[in-house]
Structure 1
Amino acid sequence: MSTSFFQPDPNLIKPYALMDLDDTLFQTQRKIDAWSLPTAKPEGLVCATVNKQDEPLSFMSQRQASFFNWLLASTELIVVTARDRSEIKRVKLPFDSWQILTHGAIILTADGELLSAWQQHMHDQLSLLQDKLHQLSQLFMGHSRKYDSQLVFTPHIDNFNNGSVNEELIIYLAIKHAQRDHQALTELAQKLPALVRDFDKDFYVHVNANNLAILPHAVHKRQAVQFLLEHHLDSTRPSFGFGDSIADLPFLQLLDWYGMPNHGQLHEHIRSQ
């Protein structure tokens, strides 16, 4: 067998960069202060997202903006985020490739169109759980009204095509605490399996800071990324990615290389081991 050695090649092949967004590429001012991010003086911040009132909400430090600019120029950047189709519109960054949204339930093409094969697959999975998701929704809405709860409950809903009919389905349920009581959310997550029959069989719970998500097992960033890798991405091109959450780790492990920012849930989890 002959041995070949590396030779520089002027014909560059862009790798795929599969990126989580919030707290990986940008974050709120509150988190900038909590993490003491470098190059994040107010006059140097770059607005990355706006709120529902179109006011600046999340920002990139100068280093993060340079990193994002390098990604745009040197890679094919693929978004992998918990944000849904409405929330992604409030991200004011230029994306021109695939977008995996709503924890993996939605895949958009580079043209912003729904990937029909994935949508039909998700319809088939989610339609089986609508009764239980409605049951959970009624439970939390009733709890909020009866006990003047500090829990802020939001069902995430989208339209899915089963091949002949567009149907509106609940994808997952999100809960925040009005006073940012993270411990209260953690305790709620521990109680959830007792609230609905076969909860663990059908759902998993993700808690990160002031966000608690109740998700069907079929809804996961890893499964959507795997679908893209197997059916739509070029297997000869290298891939890498970044994420800040423990829930990002399963999709990152599908890639050739992966990492995390030096702050956030995944960083703290590894540091504590």
Structure 2
Amino acid sequence: MKPIALVDLDDTLFQTKRKVPHLSEDDLVLASVATNNSHSYMTKTQLAFAQWLVASTEAIPVTARSSEALSRVTIPFNSYAIVSNGAVILGPDGKPDAEWHDIVAAELRPLESYFGDLLTAGTAKAAELGVSIRSWSVMEGDLATYVVFKENEGDGSRLQEIVPIIHENSGWVRHHNGNNLALIPPVISKRLATEFLIDRLRAADPHRPVMGYGDSVSDFSYLSLCDWWGAPSKSQMTDLVVSAISR
């Protein structure tokens, strides 16, 4: 019986080269090809960990990446995958799980015009503040799942200034990590998708161990469902824990 391993990807198993400037090309392994040439790389240690996960567990990515972006990852996952922050569960055949799709689509369809309003409001707020941004709805097929804002010139530190545009919307998640601000409706949740999938995978064996790995504070949402969890030593999550115990 293999344990289930739920694992975030970006900044957990790999990262862009700019985040490891002290390493040479020989120290890195290509992990994901990017359309904008900002490829992601694994260190040799991350590669060994990823290889162990795939060989020893039922390794399941839990990622903000879309289905398309996941397809550009070089790690040979061969089970389920939770993508677009939980909006889609891909089966081992790479196709969206129909049962989960129906659950999510019923909640998302009525929000399509509101996503457009959020993008317009966010762009207007950024212009007012003099912040150059780009933004879009993350699509899975013909289904808009959540919206994303990134700075065009900067490290993303000013993105937090446009967060108030959803303060009145109870239940929405404002996920800000680096140059990425995602505004996510309540139905889209790594936790909800993970809970759904764990229940399915444990149907035959309710005592099957579940491990989880992530780097972002927002990953606590699904890691708390696991029997054990961990984080990279250099991560938002580790910084939070170390800060708390150092007080």
| TM-score between the two structures when normalised by the length of structure 1 | 0.82
2:115 equivalent in structure 1:
133
In 2, distance between residues paired with 1:121 and 1:134? Answer: 22
CA displacement at 1:183 relative to structure 2: 2.7
1:192 and 2:153 aligned: no
Match in the other structure for 2:147? 173
The one-letter code matched in structure 2 to 1:266 is M
Per the alignment, residue 205 of structure 1 pairs with 174
Q: Which runs of 5+ in 1 are unaligned?
A: 1-12, 160-167
Deviates more, 1:74-83 or 1:224-233: 224-233
| Alignment pair present for 1:116 and 2:104 | no
Q: Secondary structure at the match of 2:196?
A: helix
Matches within 5 A, 1:79-90: 79-90=61-72
Give me the whole-angstrom Cα distance separating, in 2, the residues matched to 1:205 and 1:217.
11
* Counterpart position of 2:18: 30
Residue matched to 1:163 = none
- Residues 50 and 62 from structure 1, CA distance in 2 versus in 1: closer, same or farther, beyond 3 angstroms? same
2: CA distance, partners of 1:140 / 1:99: 30
Which amino acid in the other structure matches residue 49 of structure 1? S
Question: What percentage of aligned pairs have identical amino acids?
Answer: 35
**Counterpart AA for 1:139:** A
Q: Of 52, 59, 65, which aligns to 2:35?
A: 52
Q: May I ask how many residue pairs the two structures share in their alignment? A: 242
Contact 2:50 2:75 in 1 (8 A): no
**1:94: which partner in 2?**
76
Q: Which residue of 2 aligns with 1:78?
A: 60
In 2, the alpha carbon distance for the partners of 1:181 and 1:272 equals 23
C-alpha deviation, 1:187, in angstroms = 1.9
The structure with the largest alpha-carbon Rg is 1
1:183 and 2:157 correspond: yes
- The Cα shift of 1:216 comes to 0.1
RMSD over aligned Cα atoms: 2.0
Higher mean C-alpha deviation, range 248-257 or range 171-180:
171-180
Aligned to 1:5: none
Deviation at 1:135, TM superposition (A): 1.2
Q: CA deviation at 1:146?
A: 8.6
Q: Offset of 1:52 from its aligned partner?
A: 1.0
- Tell me the alpha carbon deviations over residues 40-81 of structure 1, each in whole angstroms, 9 at most, x when there is no partner: 44212110011116x571111111111111111111101100
Counterpart Cα distance in 1 of 2:55 and 2:11:
22
For 1:9, the equivalent position in structure 2 comes to none
What is the match of residue 245 of structure 1? 216
**Secondary structure, counterpart of 2:110 in structure 1:** helix
* Displacement of 1:217: 0.9
Match of 2:4 in 1: 16
Q: Is the 8 A contact 2:191 2:222 kept in 1?
A: yes
Whole-Å separation in 2 of the counterparts to 1:183 and 1:109: 36
TM-score (normalizing by structure 2): 0.90
Residue number in structure 2 paired with 1:3: none
The amino acid that maps onto 2:89 is I
Q: Is this contact kept in 1: 2:122–2:162, CA < 8 A?
A: no
> Are 1:226 and 2:195 an aligned pair?
yes
| Structure 2 unaligned blocks of 5 or more | none
Whether contact under 8 Å (1:229, 1:235) holds in the other structure is no
Q: Which amino acid aligns with 1:22?
A: D
Does the CA contact (< 8 Å) of 1:158 and 1:170 recur in 2?
yes
Q: Which residue of structure 2 lines up, in the alignment, with residue 267 of structure 1?
A: 238
- What is the CA–CA distance in structure 1 between the aligned matches of 2:135 and 2:197, rounded to whole Å? 31
Is contact 1:21-1:79 (8 Å) kept?
yes
Distance in 1 (CA, whole Å) between partners of 2:58 and 2:94 is 15
2:58, 2:12 → 1: CA distance?
17
- How many Å apart are 1:100 and its aligned residue? 0.2
Deviation at 1:104, TM superposition (A): 0.2
Is the CA contact 1:47–1:56 (under 8 Å) kept in the aligned structure 2? no
